[in-house]
Amino acid sequence: MLKIIIPTIMLIPTTTMCKPTQLWYTTLIHSMLISLLSLQLFYPSLQPIMNFSNHNMAADQTSTPLIILSCWLTPLMILASQNHLSTEPLSRKRTFIITTIILQMLLIMTFSTTDLMMFFVLFEATLIPTLMMITRWGNQMERLNAGTYFLFYTLMGSLPLLVALLSLYSNTNSLSILTMQLSPTMLKNTWTNSMWLLAALTAFMIKMPLYGLHLWLPKAHVEAPIAGSMILAAILLKLGGYGIIRIMSTTNFLSKTPYYPFMILALWGIIMTSLICLRQTDLKSLIAYSSVSHMGLVTAATLTQTEWAYTGAITLMIAHGLTSSLLFCLANTNYERIHSRTLLLTQNMQLLLPLMGTWWLLASLTNMALPPTINLMGELTIITSLFNWSNTTIIITGLGTLITAIYTLHMFSSTQWGELPQHIKIMAPSHTREHLIMTLHILPMTLLMMKPELIWGPLYC
């Protein structure tokens, strides 16, 4: 793990001392080399052991795909932000890249720590660079309001989690994930333990986000710059799912009754947010609400606590991370040309940017979980595990899949077909840089179709 973290840390002085003309190229190549280096972590994940860096840091089948996704996304964020930051002074460009690097470093450490208290500290630390991205480099004046929502929703859920972890430590005298997995704490069905479970899960449910606790997400996504939207959708939402998996695997609650309200909200959220997507006029808001819908599936899966469910959850988290990041990049290419996110103003873009139409088609098909994408593997595994848990869930998950296909086709047809808006007189052509970003999103998804066991998590062991 240190062979990834140390080069990441060294990227900060590199950014500070780099010549202005070589800033983007140097940071991009350096971060891409780190992401290629991180692929080595896949090898130990194919064996039922943990890859130790030291006694406090380790990578297993659950965390390895998320660490590699974090490393892979950083060069894509730098690549996608070049046009957005072209008018900024040099000092602010350096600050932005350093903020991105710090966020990557914190995420790698969050996914690789083996101590729950350290996980909590790093989980909260990722809030600061993300907040800086939204409030400083956001597009509209509402970014301060969005940052406030993001900050207070997350902090509101973090205090109960801290109390829950301190309570757990007083009972077990250890917060080491390795120690607790060997002898999971048996929690009896008492009022105190139910409150403990509620406190432990609240912070992660807000981060996912669970339907009802999701109001911060569309605001944050809409106001964030392209790099902020990419990291929010691809990684930060997955911190919630990862946290739930870790808490569930280290504690053993005898009664499943306290999970039911969360399960109902997660399943109901799949339908509701999918329906909300059908009436969205803002492109980024539509993609943000679709993230809530997909994360509802992940939440429901993690609460069933079966190997099939965990496998589906991890697979869908990785698939959704790449797909949603790709969709935000595509939405950004439209925004940079017409300076609007409204669907009505982006009609018939296929005529003006034909190659981008191809990327839109591929992104829409993966978002719909078309065979043989890894999105389908994740969703199918989750739906199967939920059906085994309760037969009734097939109606909700089936409806959710149907509405997802409808709003994705609506998004694709609205942006690519129809009459050309009269206000568009001139349109800049698509750049090689933009096609490279799309290729680097599609490429890992295509390769994972050929070897999906890399991200199957505990089932493959």
Predicted pLDDT at 184: 67
Residue that terminates a domain, selected from 210, 238, 255? 255
CB 433 within 8 A of CB 79: yes
pLDDT tens column, 380-414: 999 999 999 889 999 999 999 999 999 999 899 88
Give CA–CA dist 111/371, Å, rounded.
30
Q: Supply angle C-alpha 16, 20, 26, rounded to 5.
A: 70
Handedness of CA 70, 324, 309, 206 (dihedral sign): positive
* Same-domain status, 263 and 210: no
* Same-domain status, 111 and 130: yes
Amino acid present at 59: A
User: pLDDT averaged over the chain?
Assistant: 86
Q: What is the pTM of this model?
A: 0.92
pLDDT tens column, 296-353: 999 999 988 888 889 999 999 999 999 999 999 999 988 888 877 788 777 777 777 8
Q: Where are the beta strands (DSSP E) in 161-208?
A: 185-187
- The pLDDT of 187-192, averaged and rounded, is 72
* Same-domain status, 319 and 192: no
Residue that terminates a domain, selected from 209, 225, 255? 255
- The pLDDT of 159-188, averaged and rounded, is 80
Amino acid present at 79: L
Instruction: State both tokens at 193.
Output: 């333990």
CB 356 within 8 A of CB 437: no
* Same-domain status, 321 and 380: yes
* Same-domain status, 322 and 442: yes
Confidence check: pLDDT of 47 > 60? no
Do the domain assignments include residue 242? yes
Q: Is 223 exposed, middle or buried (0-12, 13-18, 19+ CB in 10 A)?
A: buried
CA distances from 359 to 141, 341, 439 (A): 31, 18, 9
CB 186 within 8 A of CB 269: no
Residue in 161, 134, 303 with CA at minimum distance from that of residue 218: 134
Least confident of 235-239, 252-256, 371-375, 389-393: 252-256
Do the domain assignments include residue 46? no
Do the domain assignments include residue 48? no
* Same-domain status, 243 and 299: no
What's the number of domains the chain is made of? Answer: 2
Predicted pLDDT at 44: 54
**Rg (Cα) of the chain, in Å, rounded?**
21
* Same-domain status, 249 and 269: no
The three-class DSSP label of residue 348 is coil
Residue that terminates a domain, selected from 196, 222, 255? 255
* Letter string b/e over residues 284-297, b meaning 16 or more CB atoms within 10 A of that residue's CB: bbbbbbbbbbbbbb
Structural domain boundaries, residue 339: 258-460
Give CA–CA dist 198/206, Å, rounded.
12
* Same-domain status, 275 and 207: no
